[in-house]
Structure 1
Amino acid sequence: MLGLQEVAVLSLCLTVLLYIYRKRKSNPLPPGIPRWPIVGNALSIPMDYTHRFYKQPGEKLGSKILYLEAFGQPMVILNDHRMAKDLLEKRSSIYSSRMKIDLFFSFFPYGDAWRRDRRLFTQYFSPKTLHRDQERIVDFVRKGLLPNLYHSPSDFRSHIRSCMEGFAIAIAYGLQVRRTNDPIIGLSEDAFSAITSAVAPGRFLVDVFPILKYVPGWVPGANFQKLARRWKALIMQVTEDSYEAAVKTMNNGTAQKSFASDNLTLQSEGSDPEVSVDDIKRIGQQVYGAGSETTVASSITFILAMLKYPDIQKRAQRELDSVLGLNRLPDLSDQAQLPYLSAIMEVLRWNPIVPLGVPHFTDEEDVYEGYYTPKGSIVIANAYGMLYDKEIFPDPHVFQPERFLKDGKLSPDMTIDPEVAVTFGFGRRICPGAYLALPLLYLTAASILTVFDILPELDAEGSPLEVVPEFSAASLVSEPLPFRCQFVPRKGKNVENLLKDYLHVEII
């Protein structure tokens, strides 16, 4: 026979269950596609181009908020910018958690550990300290990227990666890198391509069915365990190598100013007792990992857009020539006079670099616009769905910088600014490195168009090869699939004279 205490506990449980049932009954789940028993929508969600899939059902249902389920794991998809801001910013206390990946503070659940690492990051990297890193941005574009494109233009993807990763390694660890074939950059490329696979939404069913973590690795389909071990080893190797190299430069007195050197100095002085070596390593690897991957993809997308739309390329070059003349390279200070070039931010809309963002998790249940969201839901702000919304961006598949111009200037009343509002996330989880990424992208674009014409490759008969823009299937970082082009020094420009101080630099 049950005692009073057991009866009280049982009554409380029944009351809670009844409350949840009534709440769900009075507030339905958002619209969604039919679910199968047990598996829900798990078999319907593709591993490739997931961001495109998440947009389609909403269009058919006439709803920009979508509900899916996989093995009982609730998922809410937001294809609307206003909804994303309402939930992820205005209700950030509910929507700011994330799945936990120990290697990166961006994937920490919302709490003390995340706040500590975020504080450590923003103390060193913030708009107030941009002036400190501007010289390095200029150095890596002028001493690294432009000479490499001049000497071996067909390897442009590798040169873009060397520039972006080299800059990130410099600000994270203060390391100088070789202009070509730097060993740390080569290793980091392997490591961080592993990251994009490891944390891509839906990459493995273990994301939505955590019990699979305990399935033996020999079971068919459970290869995520073996891959996870390999990925972690790669990431840790590049992290340890970079960290040890930074410590070595500090010990021999050749250290350059960087996140690692500054914070290791503070730690040795006891100025910030909360900061550990592991914190410094983790944030350092995120700076040159996650940050460089997105800037690489954005820069290659820019090159593809200029190749596909030569009239836009020519117009941007005319604007550059009118401001710079023929005898100097662009600086960061020129951007205010280059509205059309700045409008080429359309690159970030045309190919949303992080099309699904990084999933949020709800810490509590919620009701929004009459729809019920369960506690523990995965919430995905589908940047692709927002930036390909035909109501806001007509003909979304067309690259059109004029979308962001009004009377020859950047429009002050853009409904969605892809530079800030979508590409770098929402709310408390917005990417804190955005202020560095945007100047780097601007100077890369301006410098390439100042020096080179981006032209199609020619076939055996001398005719230009057709360019068909295609993008990777991954939904974490979207990058153009391989394509060929030429970087031809512009006629009327003394390119060798423009680059004379940089062509023979080997160490940056």
Structure 2
Amino acid sequence: MALLLSFSPAVLGIAVVAVLLIFLLFRKPKLPPGVKRLPGPKGIPILGSVPDLPAKHSWLQFYAWTKQYGPICQVQLGPDTCVLVASPKVAEDLLVKRAAKYSGRVHFPAIWGDCATDGHYLPLMTNCADQKRIKNFTRKLTSSLPRAHLSKVASEQTKIFVLKLLEDPLNFGTLLERCCGGISSTIAWDRTSPEVAKATVSTSLGLLEVISPEAIQNKLPFLEKIPLWVPDFLQPWRVKEIGRVTRERDFWFGQRAQARARIEEEKGEYSWTRESLKDGTLEEEEKAYTVGMMTLIASVLESSPIQGLVVALCMFPEWQKRGQEEVDLVCGDRMPMAEDIQKLPVVRALIREIFRWRSPVPFGVPHMLTEDDIYEGYHIAKGSVVFALECAMSRDEALYPDAENFRPERWLDPLYPTYKEPLTHHPQLKNNSSFGWGKRQCLGLDYSEIVHVTIVATMLWSCNIQKKVDEKTGLEIELPWMDYSPFVIVKPNPTPLDIKPRDERRIKLLSSV
């Protein structure tokens, strides 16, 4: 008592308020009768289990928690209650059958504005009337895209990509991103250029940075509340983000204006911009952002699994050979086309297996629960962030024997539980949980299949991917098994490998068309 009295009233008051705030923020709410809390790590006051997360590959810790506590468990990460789902059945029960409750989205403090409601980024919007309008508009655009036109654009950009890849194999990741950015920007605005493709990728990477756990505002969300009158030099993160959204807006609106001018002159081919002018359900700004967002998704997200497959084909040359043999048999001396998809089950198995083995979204895209729920006797609180963990579900040994290894045969051999017939149809990207669950499933699955198969089949048809030889030692440089970026959408970090032409005649064919 004497010690307490020795402090000034102001200090005591601050201490009391601090203790009260901690109590109110981190106390466990009383549960309704007859239910229990989800199992999970206890964590520590205020931080929860944040100290247990590694600097890299934190999704593996999420996976470890599900192995320890079960297919649905709960972890506290600072003020956020996170529900981790490692079972396809549980994900189906919650995110599909109870989609009305589980289709919310989280707020990212690092993004300027409220991404959950402002309509700029459809995948980040919470479930609301505006989200439904923009989603319906997006569905119309994706369904209007002629398959033949997408196939033509994908082939043209893939030719450019392969020729650059043979000149600069160490930058295969950047080249793949620009290839996919070139495809999506052509479809969006009816034409592209190396500069437009590069800018499309830049907008993608910029958004990935601010939705990643590494962004300082996401780590310290109170920074978002700093008043605007505070000098810029005291909040460089805000200056950087305002610059990002300004460049993004100028780019998307500038491309839309140029596309509209060509349309008014009756120039250009099919484009999402041309189709958008026929729709009256969205304002002009909403249309510009929606088309821009579609180019963004279709650049880095499309390229990420193919980047992983390039590394896998180098690590597993026997599967590279099987893919090459299939493409040679089907295509001969002509470049692969989208029309070949049904005849290329090995190529599709390679793509489907890389989605499983190295998912581009190992966390899954987080959903937010919009009202309290009870599942199998467990209470799940409103505001909980729900992760359908791809990194866990894709390693279910019952469905994926030898899950830690790259085994494309699991999609081609009747001895495996994942095998389905006919092989003219299976395996496929559709119904792949990497593309989301329930009402939040990606709308571009047909687009993705054509782009992925065109790029992968053409690489197999034209290139040999092999380990790079160290000039000093003469030995092959071993490749890392799990050297991936820390973003929400992950991709291999720059990896030393070598890519050579399989047949000079085929390279000349790509150059001459």
What's the Cα RMSD here? 2.9
Q: Which residue of 1 aligns with 2:479?
A: 467
CA shift digits 1:127-166 (9 cap, x unpaired)? 8843442222222223x22332344444433321221001
Deviation of 1:91 after TM superposition, in Å, equals 0.6
Q: Which residue of 2 aligns with 1:66?
A: 73
**Corresponding letter in the other structure for 2:339:** S
**Corresponding letter in the other structure for 2:68:** K
Q: Which residue of 1 aligns with 2:492?
A: 480
**Corresponding letter in the other structure for 1:377:** S
Q: Which residue of 2 aligns with 1:162?
A: 178
**Cα 1:225–1:361, aligned 2, differ >3 Å: closer, same or farther?**
same
Which sections of structure 2, spanning at least 5 residues, go unmatched?
A: 1-28, 107-113
**Cα 1:207–1:26, aligned 2, differ >3 Å: closer, same or farther?**
farther
**Cα 1:219–1:150, aligned 2, differ >3 Å: closer, same or farther?**
closer
**Corresponding letter in the other structure for 1:334:** D
Question: Equivalences for 1:416-435 in 2 at 5 Å?
Answer: 420-435=431-446
Structure 1 residue 140 and structure 2 residue 153: aligned?
Answer: no
Structure 1 residue 108 and structure 2 residue 116: aligned?
Answer: no
Residues 190, 234 of structure 1: 8 Å contact kept: no
Percent identity (aligned): 21
Deviation of 1:445 after TM superposition, in Å, equals 0.8
Q: Which residue of 2 aligns with 1:21?
A: 30
Determine helix, strand or coil for the equivalent of 1:187.
helix
Deviation of 1:22 after TM superposition, in Å, equals 4.8
TM-score (norm. length: structure 1): 0.84
Q: Which residue of 2 aligns with 1:119?
A: 136
2:206 to 168, 191, 194: 194
1:85, 1:371 → 2: CA distance?
17
Determine helix, strand or coil for the equivalent of 1:329.
coil
Q: Which residue of 1 aligns with 2:238?
A: 225
TM-score (norm. length: structure 2): 0.83
Q: Which residue of 2 aligns with 1:175?
A: 191
**Corresponding letter in the other structure for 2:130:** A
Q: Which residue of 1 aligns with 2:15?
A: none
366-375 or 94-103, larger mean C-alpha shift: 94-103
1:385 to 392, 400, 419: 392
CA shift digits 1:241-290 (9 cap, x unpaired)? 322322332344423321112212x2xxxxx4332111111111111112
1:341 to 341, 347, 350: 347
Determine helix, strand or coil for the equivalent of 1:125.
helix
Residues 48, 475 of structure 1: 8 Å contact kept: no
CA shift digits 1:450-504 (9 cap, x unpaired)? 111112222225432222233324241111111122221215x6224532533xx
**Corresponding letter in the other structure for 2:155:** V
Residues 343, 405 of structure 1: 8 Å contact kept: yes
**Corresponding letter in the other structure for 1:331:** M
Residues 360, 378 of structure 1: 8 Å contact kept: yes
**Corresponding letter in the other structure for 1:165:** G
1:26, 1:224 → 2: CA distance?
46
**Cα 1:214–1:361, aligned 2, differ >3 Å: closer, same or farther?**
same
Q: Which residue of 2 aligns with 1:245?
A: 258
Deviation of 1:313 after TM superposition, in Å, equals 0.6
Deviation of 1:206 after TM superposition, in Å, equals 5.3
Deviation of 1:352 after TM superposition, in Å, equals 0.4
Deviation of 1:33 after TM superposition, in Å, equals 0.5
1:317, 1:175 → 2: CA distance?
31
The one of the two structures with greater contact order (alpha-carbon pairs below 8 A, sep at least 6) is 1
Deviation of 1:380 after TM superposition, in Å, equals 1.2
1:369, 1:204 → 2: CA distance?
36
Residues 451, 489 of structure 1: 8 Å contact kept: yes
Question: Equivalences for 1:14-93 in 2 at 5 Å?
Answer: 21-23=30-32, 25-46=33-54, 48-61=56-69, 63-93=70-100
Residues 469, 477 of structure 2: 8 Å contact kept: yes
Structure 1 residue 324 and structure 2 residue 335: aligned?
Answer: no
**Corresponding letter in the other structure for 2:501:** P
**Corresponding letter in the other structure for 1:193:** L
Determine helix, strand or coil for the equivalent of 1:68.
strand
**Corresponding letter in the other structure for 2:147:** L
**Corresponding letter in the other structure for 2:124:** F
Residues 47, 203 of structure 1: 8 Å contact kept: no
**Corresponding letter in the other structure for 2:173:** R
**Cα 1:383–1:416, aligned 2, differ >3 Å: closer, same or farther?**
farther
How many residues end up aligned between the 2 structures?
Answer: 467
**Cα 1:323–1:81, aligned 2, differ >3 Å: closer, same or farther?**
same
Residues 151, 337 of structure 2: 8 Å contact kept: no
Q: Which residue of 2 aligns with 1:259?
A: 272
**Cα 1:110–1:129, aligned 2, differ >3 Å: closer, same or farther?**
farther
Residues 201, 299 of structure 2: 8 Å contact kept: no
**Cα 1:329–1:273, aligned 2, differ >3 Å: closer, same or farther?**
closer
Deviation of 1:328 after TM superposition, in Å, equals 1.4
Question: Equivalences for 1:303-452 in 2 at 5 Å?
Answer: 303-325=310-332, 327-344=333-350, 345-407=352-414, 411-412=419-420, 420-452=431-463
CA shift digits 1:214-236 (9 cap, x unpaired)? 14678999765344323323322
Deviation of 1:417 after TM superposition, in Å, equals 7.4
**Cα 1:156–1:498, aligned 2, differ >3 Å: closer, same or farther?**
same
Deviation of 1:408 after TM superposition, in Å, equals 10
**Cα 1:27–1:47, aligned 2, differ >3 Å: closer, same or farther?**
farther
Residues 85, 426 of structure 1: 8 Å contact kept: yes
Question: Equivalences for 1:265-284 in 2 at 5 Å?
Answer: 266=278, 272-284=279-291
Deviation of 1:406 after TM superposition, in Å, equals 2.4
Residues 177, 303 of structure 2: 8 Å contact kept: yes
Q: Which residue of 2 aligns with 1:13?
A: none
242-251 or 432-441, larger mean C-alpha shift: 242-251
